[in-house]
Amino acid sequence: MEHSLKIRAIAIDLDGTLLTSTKIITDRTIATLAKVMEQGIKVSIATGRSLDTAIRFIRQVGTPFPAVCYNGSCIYDPVTGQDLWHITLERNICEDIVRISGKVASHLHVFMDHTLYFTEKGRHADYLEPLSSQLGKTIDFFTMDDMRFTKAMFIGDPKETAVIGAQLKEKYGDSLHLVYSHPDYFEIMTGGATKGSALARLMSMYHITSDQVLAFGDADNDKEMLSWARYGIAMGNSHESVKSVAAGIAGHNDADGVAEKIEELFGFPLYA
């Protein structure tokens, strides 16, 4: 891999990448990213999470650079508190998703206008981020008037969600982007809304090209981002299918994998 001095921006996934298994960012990682930003390099959080569950980590890192949320459906500016770009699913697709939710055991979570909605039964389905149960609102999806979902997510048995995905793929094809952010989390966005496409859009706003970007990720929903960035790095805890599209491999997310790889690429320790 070429010397990192050509890198102008770093995009980093949260779960399984920047965050440890206990959902924290280590002191070493925070210090390393602070040192990078002092050198003028942009740091962007690129996550499948909603803004509500990602914002505290964005603030903890201390980056003023816009973030990619909802797997690429939104670009958010933490300085102005405004969306720079936001795309939603068409109403007929939202209605179809709700119809399907009434026939399956998997729990539907939807995000609209930066608000999470779920049924009371599905309130605690998001076990990876328990805070979501407090941030979200309970609703009867069948009484919803306004349907402009940024992202829909079925949480449940992969065998069931795979069937849901096949049905949606057959009916809507490439007009949807279907991806797993975790084996039990099946996510639905509008077609073309990926971390990779959103990152390309964001970097173009700052005249940064793909060959100037370092990106870190670990899951299926990171593949487009890792493929787009010249320096796409898969975490050591990634599935082999993710590693296969990456330009390099970092250490485990529980062993300061991001910080360690940044220090290696820059050629000197950034944290002491």
Taking 3-state DSSP, the helix, strand and coil percentages for the chain, each rounded to the nearest 5, stand at: 40, 25, 35
Distance between CA atoms of 62 and 60, rounded to whole angstroms?
A: 5
pLDDT at 97 over 60: yes
CA–CA separation, 91 vs 53, rounded Å?
Answer: 25
**pLDDT value at position 62?**
98
Mean pLDDT of 115-126: 96
DSSP conformation class of 26: -
Task: Please give the torsion angle defined by the CA atoms of residues 253, 151, 228 and 66, in that order, rounded to the nearest 10 degrees.
Answer: -80
Write the pLDDT tens digit of every residue in 243-268: 999 999 999 999 999 999 999 998 76
Indicate the average pLDDT of the chain: 94
Which domains occur in the chain, in start order? 4-86+193-266 (3.40.50.1000), 91-190 (3.30.1240.10)
- Which among 39, 218, 96, 263 has a CA at the least distance from the CA of 110? 96
Question: CB count, 10 Å around CB of 2?
Answer: 11
Q: Are the C-beta atoms of residues 84 and 65 closer than 8 Å to each other? A: no
pLDDT computed for residue 1 by the predictor: 40
Mean pLDDT of 151-176: 97
What share of the chain in percent tops pLDDT 70?
96
Structure confidence at residue 2 (pLDDT):
41
**pLDDT confidence of residue 137:** 96
H-only helix segments in 49-191? 51-61, 91-101, 132-135, 158-172
pLDDT at 192: 86
Q: What is the pLDDT of residue 5?
A: 58
Q: Percent of the chain beyond pLDDT 90? A: 91
User: What is the pTM for the complete model shown?
Assistant: 0.92
The reported pLDDT for the residue numbered 3 is 44
